[in-house]
Amino acid sequence: MNRMGMQSPARHPDFARLTQQQVSLLSRKGWYHSVRLADGTVISGLVSVEALQARLRSFPIPGDLTGKRLLDVGAATGGCSFEMERRGAEVVAVDCVEYEEFHIARKLLGSSVEYHILDVEELTPERLGRFDIILFLGVLYHLRHPLLGLEKICALTNDTAFVESFVNDALPAADARDGACLLEFYERDELGGQIDNWFGPNTQCLMALCRSAGFARVNLEYFSDRRAGVTCRRHWEPVPANPAAPPPWINAAINNRTGDIYFHPAKDEYVCIYFKSKETGLALQDLRVEIDDYGVPTLVLASLGCGGWQANVKVPPGLPLGSHFVRVRTVSSSFGNRFEIVVTGDSSPPCSDEATWHTPRLPAHTSVTPTSPMRIFQESISPRPTGSMRWVSPRLSSPASVTIP
């Protein structure tokens, strides 16, 4: 019990009873979603046609999806998939379990939704391609690795993902008021007596997980009955029509660990972006970083003085091997120059020993201008590093010798 007298659903007997009732109803009916056939007949499932429509209406999903490619993850018996197809989308449905009812409904509806039996962990752009829209409804808390699952979803999303999850806001209220992200872990069947319920995020945490997975903008659409729905967008809002400020200029965008421009898709690497801006007093929420036109959330922003700034971002999931371009704007400016980074399958060297370094050298046009950063924070997660070190990059064409205060 927390200070507000609320109890986690994991310890609430009513929650477990209700969940078990639903599980036994589902096993009797077989159909997760009710389906309305062309002649008006309804196959009755656990979720009524009206309830599903109301749930879908909670999200800003366009009524006309003509020309859109849409993925329904955790499709169950396909209620959402068939509705999205009815709206004109080309739909791919995946679930870790094969539902016979999905096949029956597809036949009865004359549907051509593509159906794959795959776990979230198996989803890759190489396997399925990318999608304009993804529905990721009621699946997150079933994952043992929820952040990895959201990264998988982000990597597949070209534009927008709609995410719905169980949320546990009965976590310490004082912390929640501070905006704390809390995630309760269920080791066995504590949540509703089900063994595949692993995590209960509070709503703040659900939104933060989506941003941390790589989505640029995350908007809370609804919160009710221990569920929350969010819209996750990969692109920033449009550039202002009449930018009030001049665009920033990127001096360098480098790997926080190696100090060069090479990134490995399987490693936890961050891009340190050093840029100049004429705007004073920039704050984290003012910055709009993009890699290949995808917005990327900024983790830290530090003023380096004299108009110089450092922003650190996580490399977004799913970048293919090859060249990519980083650019920066603020809420008041347009984008400035682009700076090339390279995703390579080669492993980075354990240290900066040139003799063992085999990745290609920087592209000829990559240079560090005279206004290159005076300070580089190797420990990229700290906006105010302590300690002192001398850092030299032998791989920047104009070696930068920098000091961390």
139 contacts ligand SAM (rule: CB under 6 A): yes
96 contacts ligand SAM (rule: CB under 6 A): yes
Q: Are 26 and 97 in contact (CB under 8 A)?
A: no
∠ CA 361-365-367, rounded to 5°: 80
CB of 207 to ligand SAM, least distance (A): 19
Of 21-29, 92-100, 225-233, 287-295, the window that binds ligand SAM (rule: CB under 6 A) is 92-100
Among positions 16, 76, 271, 311, the unique one binding ligand SAM when judged by CB under 6 A: 76
Of 108-116, 139-147, 333-341, 361-369, the window that binds ligand SAM (rule: CB under 6 A) is 139-147
Whole-angstrom distance, CA of residue 322 vs CA of residue 345: 9
Q: Are 93 and 116 in contact (CB under 8 A)?
A: yes
Q: Are 160 and 143 in contact (CB under 8 A)?
A: no
Task: With H, G, I as helix, E, B as strand and everything else as coil, classify residue 184.
Answer: strand
Whole-angstrom distance, CA of residue 161 vs CA of residue 153: 8
Q: Which of residues 98-137 bind ligand SAM (CB under 6 A)?
A: 119-120, 137
245 contacts ligand SAM (rule: CB under 6 A): no
Which C-beta is closer to ligand SAM: that of 137 or that of 207?
137
The residue assigned the tokens 């300070």 is 375
The residue assigned the tokens 């477990």 is 16
326 contacts ligand SAM (rule: CB under 6 A): no
97 contacts ligand SAM (rule: CB under 6 A): yes
9 contacts ligand SAM (rule: CB under 6 A): no
- Cβ-based burial of 188 (10 A; exposed 0-12, middle 13-18, buried ≥19): exposed
CB of 74 to ligand SAM, least distance (A): 3
Strand order from edge to edge, sheet including 287-291: 262-263, 339-343, 322-330, 287-291, 294-296
Q: Which of residues 13-32 bind ligand SAM (CB under 6 A)?
A: 32
Of 10-18, 95-103, 254-262, 335-343, the window that binds ligand SAM (rule: CB under 6 A) is 95-103
Among positions 16, 56, 80, 402, the unique one binding ligand SAM when judged by CB under 6 A: 80
Of 76-84, 298-306, 323-331, 347-355, the window that binds ligand SAM (rule: CB under 6 A) is 76-84
Q: Which of residues 143-182 bind ligand SAM (CB under 6 A)?
A: 143
Of 91-99, 278-286, 327-335, 390-398, the window that binds ligand SAM (rule: CB under 6 A) is 91-99
The residue assigned the tokens 């994952």 is 143
Q: Which residues contact 9 (CB under 8 A, 6 or more apart)?
A: 15, 166, 168, 170, 191, 192, 200, 226
Q: Are 146 and 209 in contact (CB under 8 A)?
A: yes
140 contacts ligand SAM (rule: CB under 6 A): no
The footprint of ligand SAM on this chain (CB under 6 A) covers a number of residues equal to 15
CB of 135 to ligand SAM, least distance (A): 7
∠ CA 231-235-239, rounded to 5°: 125
205 contacts ligand SAM (rule: CB under 6 A): no
Interacting residue ranges for ligand SAM, rule: CB under 6 A = 32, 74, 76, 79-80, 95-97, 119-120, 137-139, 142-143
